[in-house]
Amino acid sequence: MLNRILTGAMAGCFFLAAWTAAAAEPPPRYNTVELQAEAQREVQNDLLNASLYVELNDTSPAALANAINKRVNEALRAAKDTKGVTVRTGSNQTYPVYASDNVLQGWRGRAEIRIESKDFEAASGLIGKLQEGMQLGNMSFSVSPEARRAAENELIAEVIAAFKARAEIVKGALAGRGYKLQRLNVANRYSAPPPRPLMARTAMSVQEMIAPNLEAGASGVTVTANGAIEVLD
């Protein structure tokens, strides 16, 4: 008797679990279509980034460090006195130099500073001034984070509208009475121009190299929408 009760109870539990699992399963979907839309825009680069460095040699590592630190400190003071320009120190390295017979010949040191600014005229003037004691390593232009976010926010509305327009086309092509959005993913992509090639072996100033004006160019901002819809019969 007890065995029959236990068997019946277990069967009831199994039926209940199977019914619960079946109820939890989403209903089958038909006429599912994957869609993708894209919106892009050219955004004017409004941020300049540049690095300048000093590289010296000396037989004394202490004298070498003092000479490099003096150049860097002078550059930092000049940069901090320039309004609209942000400056920070970069890498700083000192390493031994050996002769061909593996004998220590001296020491070489290199230190850099990095400049960032939206004021191209102020940055250009500062770079030209700093080139009296440092060399220009590289210079690039990009879209500032706030300008990039503003463009992306506008493109989100555009790309969703484009996605909905494609969904309407699909609905009409399948002669559906409507559609339901199953899922939608929005992503962004940014393509910046490559850094400008610099003529490191010449004595040209930044003004001479890119005179008369800094041409920042533009970068591409793209927002994509990927998703799926269910076309209703």
pLDDT of residue 26 exceeding 70, the answer is no
Using alpha carbons only, give the angle 53, 56, 59 rounded to the nearest 5 degrees. 155
Question: Which residue ranges make up each domain of the chain?
Answer: 27-46+143-233, 47-142
Query: How confident is the model over 177-198, as pLDDT tens digits?
Result: 999 999 999 999 888 766 555 5
Q: Give percent of the chain with pLDDT exceeding 70.
A: 78
- The architecture in CATH of the region 27-46+143-233 reads 2-Layer Sandwich (3.30)
pLDDT at 9: 46
pLDDT at 112: 95
| Average model confidence (pLDDT) across the chain | 83
**Among candidates 151, 132, 4, which has minimal Cα distance to 71?**
132
Using alpha carbons only, give the angle 105, 106, 111 rounded to the nearest 5 degrees. 145
> What would the mean pLDDT of 116-132 be, rounded to a whole number?
91
Amino acid at 55: E
| Residues contacting 199, CB < 8 A, separation 6+ | 209
Confirm whether pTM is higher than 0.95.
no
**Among candidates 96, 113, 93, which has minimal Cα distance to 105?**
96
pLDDT of residue 19 exceeding 70, the answer is no
How many Å apart are CA 161 and CA 99, to the nearest integer? 67
| CATH 1.10.3720.10 is held by the domain 47-142 | no
